[in-house]
Amino acid sequence: MTAINLEQHLTDNNCDEQLKDLIILLSRQAPKIKSVFAHNQDSAGTLNTHGDEQAELDKVADEIIINALRESNHVKTIASEEQSDIIEIITPYEGYGITLDPLDGSSLISVNLSVGTIIGIYPNGNILQEGKNMVASMYILYGPLTILVYTIKNGVHEFVMDENGEFTILRENITMPQGNIYSSGGLKKDHKEKHSKFIEKLENDGHKLRYSGSFVADFHQILRYGGIFSYPSLKNNENGKLRLLFEANPIGFIAKQAGGEISTGFKDILDIIPKSIEDKVPLYVGNKNKIKNLEEHMKKEKIDEKDKEIIEENHINSTNYEVPIYESKQ
């Protein structure tokens, strides 16, 4: 029996025709992006709006996907990590809003590690709304295999690309097991005491560190094997490093559809109303029980010295004090 391809799977799951066309169109950019890996390995010598150095590949992948979306007639707005402003497209009808990280972890290509494309799809062309309002989310992971993971709120499904650029089913209805791996981003010296103590607990409970520097690759391991990924609030960077729109929301949407959770350490990230496309957020994503344990830990653990100053200065009720995201303490 021939393996079901992505288009058939979307049809079998009663996916809206426009949305199906859009997901298929996005999947067709994967072989084009993969084909340029070998010859675009240098830095572009420019910075993106987040101040990150752009690899040539970031710009090439960005251009490939945005050009395809412009021709699709299904897209009203595009926010890309590699673009400074939201791209507005005149469409004959409403059209979707797209958030795009064209090549997350691109600096790893020159050392042949896995990198990914992360895409969030919003209704009514509005990408500045809570992540929980997405209609679909997907990522493409360029590793030993090129795989595509998607959800249209019908569970989480994984496909593998063949030599013709066709995606066929690999795993259906993926659920996140308990697992015993963890990832922890940022420098240890910049970790706040609460986070360090949480990591210590994980290690004492037998969790093994798995961290590649590519969020998509590290998350995919958590999706399949369980565990928890973190890029926390740091002493020198209140909101951590990862972007709310381009990384946290689309990955968190998939995590939840697989029975997992995503949290700032205090609240569900998919409930956050973005203030701008630049927003960053402290991030923990993984197995539901581990996220629950984390949030209990963060609420009861004694507060960091710096937080204590803030509480005293502002007479905040310390029992439910939450690290303010979007407001730097500096």
Binding interface with ligand P6P (CB under 6 A): 104-105, 185-186, 213-215, 231, 241-242
Strands 208-209, 181-184: pairing is parallel
DSSP 8-state secondary structure symbol assigned to residue 191: B
In the annotation, is 103 catalytic? yes
Q: Are 136 and 23 in contact (CB under 8 A)?
A: yes
Q: Which of these is catalytic: 21, 52, 162, 166?
A: 52
In the annotation, is 52 catalytic? yes
CB of 101 to ligand P6P, least distance (A): 8
DSSP 8-state secondary structure symbol assigned to residue 268: B
Q: Are 77 and 87 in contact (CB under 8 A)?
A: yes
In the annotation, is 21 catalytic? no
Tell me the residue number closest to ligand P6P, measured at CB: 215
Q: Coil, strand or helix: which one is 280?
A: strand
Q: Are 283 and 268 in contact (CB under 8 A)?
A: no
For residue 66, give Cα distances in angstroms to 55, 127, 201, 254, 327.
Answer: 17, 16, 43, 22, 32
In the annotation, is 234 catalytic? no
Q: Which of these is catalytic: 56, 58, 158, 218?
A: 58
Which of residues 53 and 71 has its CB atom nearest to ligand P6P in the complex? 53
Q: Are 60 and 82 in contact (CB under 8 A)?
A: no
In the annotation, is 100 catalytic? no
Which of residues 95 and 185 has its CB atom nearest to ligand P6P in the complex? 185
DSSP 8-state secondary structure symbol assigned to residue 129: S
CB of 56 to ligand P6P, least distance (A): 15
Which of residues 146 and 221 has its CB atom nearest to ligand P6P in the complex? 221
CB of 27 to ligand P6P, least distance (A): 21
CB of 246 to ligand P6P, least distance (A): 9
Strands 96-104, 75-80: pairing is parallel
Q: Which of these is catalytic: 56, 62, 82, 295?
A: 82
Separation between Cα atoms, residue 173 and residue 212, nearest integer Å:
26
Nearest to 330 by CA among 267, 230, 239: 239
Which of residues 185 and 232 has its CB atom nearest to ligand P6P in the complex? 185
Which of residues 109 and 272 has its CB atom nearest to ligand P6P in the complex? 109
In the annotation, is 141 catalytic? no
In the annotation, is 101 catalytic? yes
Q: Which residues are catalytic?
A: 52, 58, 81-82, 101, 103-104, 247
